[in-house]
Structure 1
Amino acid sequence: MSHHPAGTGGEVDLAVIGAGINGLAIARDAAARGLRVAVVDRADVGSGTSSTSSRLIHGGLKYLERYDFSLVHESIRERHLLFRTAPHLVRDYPMLIPFYRGNSRPGPLIRLGLLAFDMLALGRGRGLSRRVPLREVARRWPGLSREGLLGAALFHDAQVPWAERLCVELLLDARRLGARVLTHTTVTGLIVDNGHVRGLRTQDRRTGGREEIRAAVTVNAAGPWIDRVLDGQVESRRLNGGTKGSHVVVDPFPGAPDTCIFFEAAADRRPIFVLPWQGRYVLGSTDLSYEGDLDDVTAGDDEIGYLLAETNRIFPDARLTPGDVLYSIAGIRPLPHTTGVADNAKISRGHTVLDHAPAYRGLLTVIGGKLTTHRALAEDVTDAVLRELGRRPRRCVTRGRPLPGAETSDWPEFARDFLRHSPLDRARSARLLTLYGVRARRVLDLAAEDPALAETVDKESGALAAEVVMAVREEGAVTLGDIMLRRTLIGLGADMGLSAAPACAAVAVRHLGWDEERARAEVIGYEKELERYRPRALATPAAGDRRTS
């Protein structure tokens, strides 16, 4: 498949600002349709909103409340496609919805909603929802509060435990199709010429190198930062009205469920989750209006308190305290700016593509979008780009195109075969499969070529040195944070990878050309990057000892 690589300098058909899940999906779709594409992000792929979600690929049950049938329909279709194109990353995820006396949404109404949902998902779900009688609730979810419990329903959705890897695979595929992806590169300005946007000016944040990327069309896909991209260059009303969503991560607690629990908070009637995730639990999320600094979003004490209190209320034996929180994850949803809304849940979760013409031709801004529907959003944006370019429509191929980790005719068979022949123990082999899919073989190959790369760099996950090398050589990682938080995912362990960071930096010194000074600076930079997660491991006295080791 020959594609024109988007070379340095020169002109491309499309420049995309933002390498979150949407920007990467746009680059992948556009490159697959033969366009020359460049993508620029001032940080790493998926390091903004994409890595702060609830990690659900959901059919959009919540959107039925607002009669947003088109979004539900789109969400169900996209979930179904992801089961096929990324089976290593996306899995069936049952959820229990308990009904309590006094809930604002009565049980029969929720069951009616589930019935509608099942009908919309006909043939594209993982199982029908069903009523769960009280006896069964008592038996299967003994930790759940009985007080005022009227019944429950079980339905099937989907989870992407490692949303970061979804972004990495979109990056890999976009690059393979000829797109150029520049991370850790700031867009210093748009090239605006007589009411026409003709690309961007960039600066590499590490080398200071400057470059102009001229483009026939520029797409602003910077998520919550879309207004900042336009600021001072393009006159526009405020477009982003993102709300803040916070989650906390805790170890298993007394009475903890083995399935996701989706329930109504007593404090504000908001539907929230207790989400089983990689042997731990994510509690979330909040939905607060936010006017603060977009680059410094952390979960507030009040939000953490709210999530713990609501969890303790429906799991009375949990008795979770702020000291039980391993870390918190907070981000801004890229929602459209909406005035006069009393309830943030009523702000649309759909996406729109705004054409800034006639005032500014050649510029599109993407408003909204969510993890589940990234591919559909990209299809819409690429269609708009082709129209803008005056080209005839070209068929989108991403509906059936597997992500790089799923390139096998029979995923279950590949997984069985890999587990059977892997030299590692079952838990570590299974982790490689869920992170890398068929590319897990690549990790084992690297470790086989150089025994030093077969060493374990992190006790908790069992991650190998080979993964650190692959992250940089083949997956576009630049910093230690990129390696830990968005490639190997070591950084999402109990201590956020603080104990493993020096070992990972040492691998980079031995195999990737870092010097000792850079390794030290990267470990310090990594600890700084973790501050917004408020990790318990950084607050303990041992943190100071670790830095000097």
Structure 2
Amino acid sequence: MAKPFSALQREKYLKKMSQTELDVLVIGGGITGAGIALDAVTRGLKTGLVEMQDFAAGTSSRSTKLVHGGLRYLKQLEFKIVKETGQERAIVYENAPHVTKPEWMLLPIVKGGTYGKAATSVGLKVYDTLAGVNKHERRQMLSREQTLEKEPLLRDDDSLKGGGYYVEYKTDDARLTLETLKEAVYRGATAVNYAKAEHLIYENGKVVGARITDRRTGETHDIRAKHVVNAAGPWVDELREKDGSKQGKYLYLTKGVHIVVDQSKFPLKQAVYFDTEDDGRMVFAIPRGKKAYIGTTDTHYVDDIATPRMTEADMDYLIKAANYMFTTQKITREDVESSWSGLRPLIHEEGKKASEISRKDETFISETGLISIAGGKLTGYRKMAERIIDRIVKEEGIKKKCVTHKIKLSGGEVGGSQKLTSFVKNAAEIGVSLGLSAEEAEHLANLYGSNVTRVFEILETQGEEAKNYGLSPGVFASLVYGIEEEMVYSPIDFLNRRTSALFFDIDYVQKYKDGVIRYMAGRFNWTSAEIDSHITMLEEEIYFAKNPVATKEKN
């Protein structure tokens, strides 16, 4: 049976899109573009999506990995953003519980800090009210002793006065993007990665499509559509320039960096949202499995959009911030195992610092009809998509309303968020019966949700092949599934966006990278030059994940 999201069929999908007029062509395969594609196809629109890199390769795999309303938006009086994104958290959690889970967050109250006791209590209560938080997840105010009990690594001196305790939601941002896009594809959309919109196509002064270059074969395809949506994230303004419509407001890119430390070096029990010492910014420290990550920075960025890198200054800033708040377990540069850097495409606001600029999304409609959307937050992706498709269906005279608030995303059919634990337990037992360790079986069930059934089918029928490539059966089954049903075309697609191993399990990457490359080389019939290219690309990403680039930030 043909699989609608196989990397082996990319060229077929591009040709398919070029042979008919689409209702909607989405340019950009991050979370915003994925959400737009899902909303469009569920309202009966013939939908296509192209992404010039891998899906989620930009901002959508490089966030703080939280689906949250954001307390600082409350501080900036952005009540509408807090309310909308707070309510969206619950929707994302219910529709994709395997990639979104509640995370209790500790907000230490420190003398001279951003939030005092009264402000924290009132602020968190308002936050809970606006976000419509469930009764059992509403904020709690903690004494100094209770705060230290929640997180013993916190500074144990007279400056610590207590803490606020409230719920956010953690996510795997890349997999949330993938599951949204897979659901769109399963419902009839067509999506292809490594397909770049070189330029737009016009007739009578109106945009009617785009010329797409397959970056893997060099072939070009003219894809025509009634509506073209520019959801290219940090590249939105580049496409607006090609359209001749970059006027008025424009993007202001800021860079956010995160560092990862092993729990043996930094045994963090509790997610913490805390003040920095010097500039009063707020930073997260979040446990994730056997690791903990700290971030983020927020600096103006003007360099190469495709490859934002951590600098020495970025690393030192985050280490200093952590060591100010967590005084019992000092972090050094040598403790940093990996890192990631991402860009936020914000809407420029004159006279404001990077951290003060609103995260509101904004839509631009050019005279040619190009629809561009920029700004916004990961949490609000579904509502952003709804607003875009509302415009399109109104113009087309279509009466169908948005239904994505009640659509389970791919992998989300686990019986509801409250039954995820029992689903994972039952699935893990199946994995163990197929020869997996209990830990790996549980990991796969959490990673793929209800799609783990297909991964286990591959394991059962093809798992013996794993030894030919030096891969464990579980890794092999994941790789095959990634190629056939998640459009994995490059080793870095698999080792980063599909598994998060590059950031959170660098030993996994080092152990299995050669086997992954050998299997993919045979599956895709790569030439020696292509193999060398993929090796170089992967080694470069591994290097920059582990090492800061000693360059000075441009202003």
TM-score by length of structure 1 reads 0.91
- Among 139, 146, 150, which residue is 2:161 paired with? 150
CA distance in 1, matches of 2:389, 2:470: 41
The letter of the residue matching 2:32 is N
Distance 1:522 1:395, change over 3 A: same
Aligned counterpart, 2:179: 169
Alpha-carbon deviation of 1:29? 0.9
Aligned counterpart, 1:55: 65
Q: Is residue 23 of structure 2 the alignment partner of residue 16 of structure 1?
A: no
Q: Is the 8 A contact 1:352 1:366 kept in 2?
A: yes
Aligned counterpart, 1:472: 483
Alpha-carbon deviation of 1:496? 7.0
Aligned counterpart, 2:190: 180
Q: Which runs of 5+ in 2 are unaligned?
A: 5-12, 551-555
Aligned counterpart, 2:553: none
Q: Which moved more, 1:41-50 or 1:400-409?
A: 400-409
Aligned counterpart, 2:357: 347
Q: Is residue 290 of structure 2 the alignment partner of residue 276 of structure 1?
A: no
The letter of the residue matching 1:375 is R
CA distance in 1, matches of 2:349, 2:213: 33
Aligned counterpart, 2:509: 497
Distance 1:454 1:438, change over 3 A: farther
Q: Is the 8 A contact 2:336 2:546 kept in 1?
A: no
Q: Is residue 423 of structure 2 the alignment partner of residue 414 of structure 1?
A: yes
Q: Is residue 545 of structure 2 the alignment partner of residue 533 of structure 1?
A: yes
Aligned counterpart, 1:74: 84
Aligned counterpart, 1:196: 206
Alpha-carbon deviation of 1:513? 4.5
- Among 370, 373, 377, which residue is 2:377 paired with? 370
Q: Is the 8 A contact 2:17 2:223 kept in 1?
A: no
CA distance in 2, matches of 1:121, 1:210: 46
SS in 2 for 1:292: coil
Greater RCO (CA < 8 Å, at least 6 residues apart): 2
Give the number of equivalent residue pairs: 528
The letter of the residue matching 1:425 is S
- Among 322, 335, 352, which residue is 1:311 paired with? 322
Aligned counterpart, 1:391: 397
SS in 2 for 1:416: helix
Aligned counterpart, 1:400: 406
CA distance in 2, matches of 1:371, 1:144: 29
The letter of the residue matching 1:150 is K
CA distance in 2, matches of 1:330, 1:451: 35
Alpha-carbon deviation of 1:226? 0.5
Alpha-carbon deviation of 1:233? 3.1
Alpha-carbon deviation of 1:406? 1.1
- Over residues 349-383 of structure 1, what are the superposed CA-to-partner deviations in whole Å (9 max), with x where a residue is unaligned? 12122211xx22x2111011221111111111111
- Among 343, 353, 361, which residue is 1:332 paired with? 343
The letter of the residue matching 2:403 is V
The letter of the residue matching 2:538 is Y
Q: Is the 8 A contact 2:361 2:375 kept in 1?
A: yes
Distance 1:512 1:185, change over 3 A: closer
Alpha-carbon RMSD: 2.4
Distance 1:49 1:123, change over 3 A: closer
Aligned counterpart, 2:10: none
Q: Is the 8 A contact 1:297 1:532 kept in 2?
A: no
Higher helix share: 2
The letter of the residue matching 1:386 is V
Alpha-carbon deviation of 1:106? 1.9
Alpha-carbon deviation of 1:53? 0.2
- Among 128, 134, 141, which residue is 1:131 paired with? 141
Alpha-carbon deviation of 1:37? 1.1
The letter of the residue matching 2:482 is A
Distance 1:496 1:432, change over 3 A: closer
- Among 426, 433, 437, which residue is 1:425 paired with? 437
CA distance in 1, matches of 2:63, 2:133: 27
Distance 1:255 1:518, change over 3 A: closer
SS in 1 for 2:322: helix
Alpha-carbon deviation of 1:463? 4.4
Q: Is residue 458 of structure 2 the alignment partner of residue 452 of structure 1?
A: no
